[in-house]
Each structure stands twice: as C-alpha cells, then as structure tokens.
Structure 1
Amino acid sequence: MFIRPECQWQQEKGSALHQWIKQQINPNPNDVDIIVYGALLSYATEASTKAQYPNAFRKAWPSFQSYNLDEQINLRALAVVDIGDVAIHEKDRMLSESAIEAAAENLSIAYPRSLTCLIGGDHAITACSLKGIKNAFPQDRIGIIQIDTHLDARNQEEIGLAQDSPIHQLIAAGVVEGRHVYNVGLHGFFNSPEMIHYAREQGIHMITLKQMRRDGIQLTIREMLRQLMYEVDRIYVSVDLDALDIMFARDVPAATPGGLTAYELFDILKLIGENEGVRHIDFVYADPKESTLRPETVKIGVTAFLQWLTGIQLDYRNRISKKGKAML
C-alpha cells in the first residue's frame, strides 16, 4: 500500500527536520502523534507523470530546524513519522484514486489517535482521502476547511474526478454536507457564476479574503472552528497552495493576483493547529505541468506545515498547563 519515498534519511543526532522526523513504513500506533504520507497523483494529462511536491517537500527538510523562535517552542516533543508514498498506478488514474482512498481508510483505522498529513499532487486526492476517512468512520460527521482561491466544485459528472471537482463529488456521494464546508481565501474573478450558485444552493460557507481581512484573520478562523466543532465530529483541512498570491507561488499553476500572503497562510495554519477537532490535513496543487518547483514555493509549504505543528504543540502545552492549575 505504501512505498518508500525517493528521499531517505538516516536517523542521526541533530535538530533539523530530517534528523527528527522518523521514516517508518509500519510504526507502532502508540508512538505516533502525526503521520505524514505522500500521494504522487498529478493533474497532468499524462498518466505516467508523477507529482513533484511530496519529494520536493522532503528534500527541503534539511533547511529547517525543529525550534520555532517566534513562539519559543520545540516541535521535537511531537512524534512525527513519514510512512512514505501511496503506491499509485502508473497508467490508470482510477486505480490510483482507489489506492489513495484505501490508504486513508487503513491509516484512520490503524492509527485512530494520530493526526494525518497528506502531501499531494492535485486536489483530486482530497476527495479520495476524505472518502477513505468516511469509510473508516461512517457515523462521523466530517467538516471541511478548504483554503483555496477556488471553490473546486465543478460538476464531477461532466468532467470526472479532477483537481477542480473534489467538493462536488464529496457532497454528491454524501461524504460531507455542503453546510459543513468552509471555503477560505476566495477572491477576485476566478469562480464561475454557475459554481457560486451551486455553492449557495448547497450551503457552502464562502469566506472571501476581503471579508476575512476586514474582520481579522484570528477572529474569522476561530469563529469558523468554533462553529464546526459544534456541528461535526472531525475536521479535515485542505490547503490548496493556489490560495497564495502569485508573487509567493509563481510556479503553482492556478495562483492568482491578490491571494493570501505567506504570512497570512502561516497565521491561519497555526490557529488551525491549535484546534483539537482538526484531525486531518492535506497540502496540494504545487504541481506545475512543464517546470520544476521553485525552492521558495516548496519552503513556503514546509513552513505552513510547521506552523500547523506549532499550533498543535501550543495546544498540547496549554492543555497540560490547565491540568496543572486544576490540580493546585
């Protein structure tokens, strides 16, 4: 089900990410806080083309330390394990999608207490992953926070499962309800009237960048999480890197003018990490067709991942602190 990633590290002493994050195919469930895995499914038309980002993501690890100077917190207290990449089919996209769904289901069952982080490829993997999680927890209501410039809700009956149809498919399949989908980062001229009409019809919450900047990022994200915690049993976050302004992600195919700054994305991910209801996350769509990913784009994605981990560690620390005070 999983194959070893192209980037392999020998465990050694040190504080860089590649010296801290373990690489194991079958770790002990009791020893894992966060599971990282990749899906090389690419939106490129050639079935044999594999997504660049999972391996580029790992290759950037030696450039980062585990200590967050801004928050004065060391992430090494978290047990993070990279279990490799989903073994996708080189020529059959449908088999690849089924493999990602099965992998997400098996991980959810085998590691029920662990958080999962999926690194992709195109946005279609979000639908595959969520379907697998729903298979594992059929009674759970699932909420989605989609950080994206686009609604990605095109009619999948017309185009099949593609990078701009995962939300439509998930709603049509009954995996999620539209009212439990919150789309953050919408702006400008990048969503069709038909797709906006569909989103309104389904009750999808469309939070524009203009609205979020007016009301404040912290207030907006905290209120969204508060509402979802009241409505659902687990929260899935999908980070489409095309939500970034094109100046921060010039090689992300659908990046646009006026999107999120890197700093805004980092703040959002830290706040999301602080919420215990968020159980799953993915980072997708850093997937250029005809070029190699720029190091700056890759490093922004890794930093966003680390900001999410920072939020998780801050939440753990705050909960321990509250328990300590309660015992006094």
Structure 2
Amino acid sequence: MNELRHLKPAGKAIFHDRHTTKAKELLEDWEPGKERAFAVVGVPLSKPSISHSGASFAPDTIRAALQSYTTYAGESGMELTDGILDFGDIYMNPTDVIGNQDRIVEGLSDVFATDAAKNWMLLGGDHSISYASIKAFAEKQTVGVIQFDAHHDLRNTADGGPTNGTPFRRLLEDEIIDGEHLVQMGIRDFMNAAAYADYAMEHGVGVYTMGDVDAVGVTELLQREINRLAEKVDVIYLSIDMDVLDQAYAPGCPAIGPGGMDSKTLLDGVLFAAKQEKVRAMDVVEIDPTIDFRNMTSRVAAYVMLQFMKGKTEKGL
C-alpha cells in the first residue's frame, strides 16, 4: 500500500473554509518586476534595547498573526484583495549592532529603490530601527514623521550609544528630519525625563500627551498635524511603538505601563492617517513575543497593518 490516507504535511493542517480568505494569504514573495499597492519588510533587530527584549522575533510573529483575521471588512463591505509583497527580513549579525543598523539603511534603500509598492510596512524589531528606516526613506524626499509612543525616544547617545531610546534624537542631530516635521502622539507621565521634554520643545517637535489625546481625540489631532505636515514635506511616515498602548492591551511590550491608549484608539488613528495621501510608510516596533500573552500584542500589530491597508484601499491610495 503506497498511499497514506488522512494525512497532511506537518504545520499545514489548518482548517479551511472555502468562503473565507485569511489575511496571511495576501503575503506573496517579492520578485523583480512585481508591483503591488503594499509591501512588507521585517527588521528583526533588538540588541540595542535598553532593557531585555526579544523584539527580533516579532516580524515572524506578526506575519503569523495575520492568520487570525480575514480579508473582509464588514463595516464597509470591502474585501482586501491586493497582495502584500513580502521582501523577507533584513539580515542581522548576532554581535554587530552598529553594522546591523548600517545594513538596515542599505537594505531598505535597495528595497525602496525597487518602487515595487506605493505603501510600505516595516516590522521591527525595537525602536532603534526607525532611525535607519527613516534615513533610507528620506534619501530622495522630505519626510514628516508621526510617532505613536509613550516615550520621546530623544535620549542622548553618550549614555549607551544608539539604543532604542535614541532614534529621533539621532534623526534630528543628523538633519535627516526637521524638528517641526516630527509629531509625537500619546506621550505619558512618568515615562520620560524633563531634559527630553525640553529638548523636544527646543527643537519644535509637536508633542501630544495622553491627556491631549483624551481631551481632543486622536483623529482631530492627526487631522491638524497631517494638514500642517502636508504643506511642508513630500511624504509622511508613521512610527507605531506598541507601548503607546496601555499595558492591558499590549502585554508583549518590554516597557509596559498603565495610562496608555486602548487598542481601538490606536486603530482609529492608523485608519484615519492611512486615508491621507501623503502617508506612505509605517513601522510597527517594540513587541517581544517571548513575554506576550496569547500573542495579544502581535495580533494588535497585525490589525494595525490591516487598518493601514483598509484606509489606503478605501481611498484608492
């Protein structure tokens, strides 16, 4: 008897409903000449984290979490049908932190130069990757940044080098972005030092605390700032540090804490921002799957990707 009955390849025995498409099925390997509305790149770097972090495992975990969702957005009756070009992950040397950051710039420069997608999604990694990814994205255009974060990430580099607490300080010091082109959304009490709040003010950074988000609303603040940035920059980049969320919604963040956004506020903000023409790239950072609970935080990140795609698709962008 040569044929074995009732067996499937290991790891592929997933229930399939003939009427349902899972979001993970949208991922397709990039090949030269392929063009799509969306592309994704993994940037699995977490060695520069100030605290212990397994964020290097997050790109694969977030991709896997797409299996939890379908491609159908019931509120609008819209189906996501565009494939997501997957460029894979930037190679990370186990010990060469500075070299890894240089490789991110070089690798993403090559990726962006393909012009394979209109909209880019980058999966970290810790927040140190944003320096390199924004540097690559800004090579041929002026970039504005909207940073969802509990922290300023404007720490000095003298006390530890280019860590995940320094990316926006480095971007400003290296004149890759202008202070007036950086907006921080969701900054929380007891998460920062006064010196870095002062640094933000001195450099014209737009800072909105969680109190501002609660009082005014995330979409109204985004409307105000995107309108302002649109007159000054070529493109806008969203940087989503998942610790902007309250610890109840993001147990997999290394720097959890109370008083942050709920997941719906973040998802509403990403959807609104994605509908704006100049918003063309987004990173999602600071998830450590090794400390997460039932992949809750990676599932929010995957949903952030879908909201980004939904907003772009609804507007034909």
The answer as to whether partners of 1:251 and 1:294 remain within 8 angstroms in 2 is no
Aligned to 1:15: 21
Q: 1:69 aligns with which of 54, 74, 82?
A: 74
Code of the aligned partner of 1:297 = T
Q: Deviations over 1:102-127 (max 9, x none)?
A: 12211221116521111011000000
Determine which structure has greater relative contact order: mean sequence separation of CA pairs < 8 Å that are 6+ residues apart, divided by chain length.
2
| Residue aligned with 2:56, SS | coil
Aligned to 2:123: 119
1:133 equivalent in alignment to 2:137 = yes
Shift of the 296–211 alpha-carbon distance from structure 1 to 2, 3 Å rule, reads same
2:153 and 2:218 mapped to 1: Cα distance?
22
Aligned to 1:3: none
2:278 and 2:287 mapped to 1: Cα distance?
26
Aligned to 2:280: 279
Aligned to 2:201: 200
The answer as to whether partners of 1:52 and 1:293 remain within 8 angstroms in 2 is no
Code of the aligned partner of 1:21 = L
Aligned residue pairs total 303
The answer as to whether partners of 1:241 and 1:255 remain within 8 angstroms in 2 is no
Q: Deviations over 1:267-290 (max 9, x none)?
A: 0010011011011110000026x6
Aligned to 2:60: 55
| Residue aligned with 1:156, SS | coil
Per the normalisation by structure 1, the TM-score is: 0.86
Q: Give the superposition deviation at 1:174.
A: 0.7
More helix by share: 1
Aligned to 2:314: 314
Q: Deviations over 1:132-162 (max 9, x none)?
A: 1223x1xx22111000000000012432111
Q: Give the superposition deviation at 1:47.
A: 11
Q: Deviations over 1:219-247 (max 9, x none)?
A: 11111111111111111110000000011
Identity %: 26
1:224 and 1:47 mapped to 2: Cα distance?
34
- Write the mapping of 1:77-226 to structure 2, written as runs, cut at 5 A: 78-111=82-115, 114-135=118-139, 137=140, 140-226=141-227
The answer as to whether partners of 1:212 and 1:220 remain within 8 angstroms in 2 is yes
Aligned to 2:38: 34
Structure 2 unpaired stretches of 5+: 1-10
Runs of 4 or more, structure 1, over 4 Å off, are 44-50
Q: Give the superposition deviation at 1:46.
A: 11
The answer as to whether partners of 1:48 and 1:91 remain within 8 angstroms in 2 is no
Aligned to 1:241: 242
1:42 and 1:95 mapped to 2: Cα distance?
13
2:27 and 2:53 mapped to 1: Cα distance?
29
The answer as to whether partners of 2:252 and 2:295 remain within 8 angstroms in 1 is no
The answer as to whether partners of 1:102 and 1:132 remain within 8 angstroms in 2 is yes
Shift of the 15–124 alpha-carbon distance from structure 1 to 2, 3 Å rule, reads same
Shift of the 306–41 alpha-carbon distance from structure 1 to 2, 3 Å rule, reads same
2:268 and 2:26 mapped to 1: Cα distance?
24
Q: Deviations over 1:42-83 (max 9, x none)?
A: 14589997712111111222211001112221111x232112
| Residue aligned with 2:40, SS | strand
1:79 and 1:27 mapped to 2: Cα distance?
15
Structure 1 unpaired stretches of 5+: 1-6, 320-328
2:111 and 2:228 mapped to 1: Cα distance?
27
Q: Give the superposition deviation at 1:256.
A: 1.5
| Residue aligned with 2:122, SS | strand
Code of the aligned partner of 1:221 = L
Per the normalisation by structure 2, the TM-score is: 0.89
1:134 and 1:218 mapped to 2: Cα distance?
25
| Residue aligned with 2:186, SS | strand
1:141 and 1:20 mapped to 2: Cα distance?
30
The answer as to whether partners of 1:47 and 1:92 remain within 8 angstroms in 2 is no
Q: Give the superposition deviation at 1:26.
A: 2.5
